[in-house]
Structures are given as C-alpha cells and as structure tokens.
Chains A and B, each alone.
Chain A
C-alpha cells in the first residue's frame, strides 16, 4: 500500500518542527532555571564587591576581572599565532605530507579533553617553568587549547576567498604579502572573527584546565604571575564544595549574561564586516 506523499510530507514537517523546538527549548529551560535561581542574588554590589568567607558572602568582582584577563590575553596570544599558521597553510605552502601533518596535529589538539590540557599546563608551565599557579600559566594553557579553533576557522575563511581576487591584485602589481594583507584577510575577516568569538566563549567557560594552571585564589590578579579564578571556576567551587548555591547561581547568571553579550557583540561585528565585504 502506498502512503499518500502529502501525509508523509506533513509528518516530516511536523517532526522537523518538533526537533527544532526541542533544541531551542533546552536552551530556554537552562537559561530560565539559571535566571530563576540566580537572579534574586544578582545586584550591583554582587558584581562590584569582593568575596568574603570563601565566597559565602560578598560579590564576585575578582573572578569577573580574572575571566576578562584570561580571555583577552589568551586571544591576544592565540590570534597572531593561529592566523599566522592559517596563512602559512593556505598561502605559502602546497599540499604536502608536511601540511597534512600540521593539519593532523591541529585536529588532534582540538580533540584532547580539557583536563589533559590542564594537566599538561600544570606539569609544564606551573612546575617545570616555575610559573606557579598564575594568570600567565592559565593564559598559555588556554592559548594552546583555543589555537586549533582559530587555525581551522581562519583557514576555512581564507580558503573561501576567490582566487580571482588574488590574481587581480597581482595584476595591479601588488606583492604577495600586500595581496594577503589588503585583499585576502579583509575578505576573510567575518570567518576569522567567528573563530575568535568561539574561542573567547571557550576561554570564558573553561574550568578544568584553569583550576590546574591559574589556580583558584580569590584575590584580584594584579600581575600575570598572580593566581586567580574565573567565574566558571568560582561557580564550580561554590557548587562542588557546597559553599553557597545562591552565590553559585548568581555567578552563573553573570556568566551566562556575559556569554550572551559576547555572542551579540560577535553578531554585530560580523554583520558589519559582512555588510562591508560582500
């Protein structure tokens, strides 16, 4: 017996709708729970004051600063390195065993669980290089962690720039580097920015790798050699050690809000870049 295609069509459509709603629904539920539980504990003082009694009382100011420091410095280190690698892979080499090896390395780096990065950072940066638990050790570990994302997204973006544009640039007697700098990179900018934004999100949300390298001190990191904690770590410790679920949810609200803010900012920048370059 043949089922009426119109009925199948309707069923498929319904199924897809359900799936889409399910995805969005999960996000909404998570955010709703966090806001419901955490919002009452949010206040101006909570954001701008120091924690007291291990975080049982007071605010989360140092961990907000620590999060920003970690994310910004990691991006500052990883972007030139990752973008340079991507430019090298796309513009300055031919496909060979060597590039395959680099790409394989990048993919492998991307697949390593973050706890292993933490362990590596602890053994290498904290102990071997005698950095101690410090912002610097955290930043370097985070840099290695987000490097694959930046390399992959930049590489894709650069590869997507039409070859014709490079040829025109050469025909206007631009050199290779000028072509890359003035044509290829601007045209690839939306994609590169996407990678950077994803990486910021990863740095902001990371815990395992950070506890091992940046430590979990409650003070405000004033130099790169100071230890500190990010909001995600603060949340983890408050919840894990049962210090204060109220403060934990309060922290989670700030964390979620900042990630939303970063995403909105990313969309804004990308839309501007796309409007300009396409």
Chain B
C-alpha cells in the first residue's frame, strides 16, 4: 500500500535528557491541506512540529526514536539541507533578519545559489505578491525589515520562506504575537497557500484551528490523544480528554 501522506510519524518517541516529551506518536499530515496541532502548553506540539525539519537537532541532549517520513522518504535518508529546503518553517515571533526587505527576501536564494539578479527580482516580486505585500513594499524594498509592523514582518517571513519553494510549511504559533485583525489576515493567507502547499500549524488558539484546518490533532503530555477531521474533533470528539480541552475544562 502506498501512503499519500506529506508527513508521517510511526512510534515516535522523543526525550529531552530524562524528560519523555513525545510518547509513541503516530501522526500524519495530508498533502495540500492544513493540519492543526492543538493542546495545552508543554504538551509537545511544537516539539513534534520541529521534528519534521530537524530543528530539535539544534538543542543539546535530544534523543529521537521511531520513524519519520517526508513524502514517504525516511527522514534519515534526506540530506539536511534538502530537507530544510523542502520543509520550511515560520516561527512564533516574526524574525526578519536585521537587513533590508530585499536582502531578507533573497537570503534563501543566495544560500542556494539560485538565479541571477533579474530572476531573483522576479521571485521576490512573486513571493511578496503571494503574501499580499507587493503593493505595500514595492517601493520599500531597501528599507530595513525591522521597521515594518509586526503583521507585515510575519508576512515577510512567510514570503522569505516561499522564495526557496518549500513543499511543506510548518507554522509554529505564527499569530501569537499578532493582534486579532492581523491574525485574521494571516489566516486568510494560510487558506490561499494551502492550494499549493501542505501546511502544519501549531496553535494554542482553538478557534484558529477550527477556522483554518482540515485535520486536527490533540496532544496532551506528549501523547497524541486524538487525530481526525477538524469538524469531527470539534463537534464529536471520541476521547473525553479532547472534549475536556475543547470545552475549556482545562488547558
């Protein structure tokens, strides 16, 4: 049987030193859809997300057991540079480099040695357009990126990621530093992006998961308690712990 998952884990266990952070997690992400991971702080949802582009490697004392697949390829078989090109990430806090907008946008391209000046300019325009920033920033390409509003910074980070043409985008609580209107606009952006990309989002905002995602996983203390269609999870959860969380009994 050939699975058609963009990302999947089998029996995944992760330890920070002695702390067992992920416990036997079997999880999958469908292509060209938005999958949300919800759960209270410290449940392991960000840790799981960071497994897919090996960001956990940057921390000391992390041990990972089990299988992780990206498009049916074992994670260990993928060169880390290619993996991070394929699986991009947007972080919790908008984090443009302290350079100009343009330099931020071409950073990934330069790292990969992609394109001449002319094609770079085209790619920059196209990616800024994808995140709805082109009109606002067309004349400000050489302004410092840190002068933008928080929402624009986060959009810029998404656009910066798009330049390297990832297939899968990991979003780690991308709206937690934004106000409600900016959050709404980033959510609209996600809906547009899912046409072309596979998206996995970690959020502590249940309404956000309900609004944007197709599939939802609920995590608690390192366990993936329940995984299913978003509508099912939010209307008829099978596990009482899930029900307890989404009805606000804890978390």
A interface list, Cβ under 8 A from B: 164-165, 167-175, 178, 182-183, 186-187, 275-278
Contact = CB atoms under 8 A, between A and B. Distances in A.
A167 to B, nearest CB: 6
Contacts of A173: 80-85, 108, 111-112, 164
A277 B146 CA distance: 9
Contacts of B45: none
B81 A165 contact: no
B97 A165 contact: yes
Interface string B101-145: 000000110111000000000000000000000000000000010
A203 to B, nearest CB: 31
B81 A182 contact: no
Given A165-B98, A182-B107, A182-B111, 8 more contacts: A164-B95, A168-B91, A172-B107, A172-B161, A173-B81, A173-B83, A173-B84, A173-B85
Q: Is the interface of B mostly helix, strand, loop or mixed?
A: helix
B110 A277 contact: no
B88 A277 contact: no
Contacts, number: 64
A182 B110 contact: yes
Contacts of B181: none
Contacts of B164: 172-173
A200 to B, nearest CB: 26
A174 B80 CA distance: 10
A169 B55 CA distance: 11
A107 to B, nearest CB: 27
Closest 8 CB pairs of A and B: A173-B84, A171-B89, A172-B108, A174-B111, A173-B85, A277-B98, A173-B81, A168-B95
Interface string B71-96: 00000000011111100110101010
B1 interface: no
Contacts of B146: 278
Contacts of B2: none
**Size band of the B side of the interface?**
20 to 34
Contacts of B82: 173
A175 B108 contact: no
B41 to A, nearest CB: 19
A184 to B, nearest CB: 10
Contacts of B100: 276
B111 A276 contact: no
Nearest to B164: A172
Given A164-B93, A186-B99, A170 B84 contact: yes
A171 B53 contact: yes
15 contacts: A164-B91, A164-B93, A165-B95, A165-B98, A167-B58, A170-B58, A171-B88, A172-B108, A172-B111, A173-B80, A173-B85, A174-B107, A276-B144, A278-B98, A278-B146
Contacts of A183: 97, 107
B98 A187 contact: yes
Contact of B99 (A170, A172, A174, A277): A277
B160 interface: yes
B55 A167 contact: yes
Contacts of A276: 99-100, 144
B91 A178 contact: no
A276 B100 CA distance: 7
B95 A172 contact: no
B194 to A, nearest CB: 20
A205 B110 CA distance: 42
B81 A175 contact: yes
A172 B84 contact: yes
A164 B84 CA distance: 16
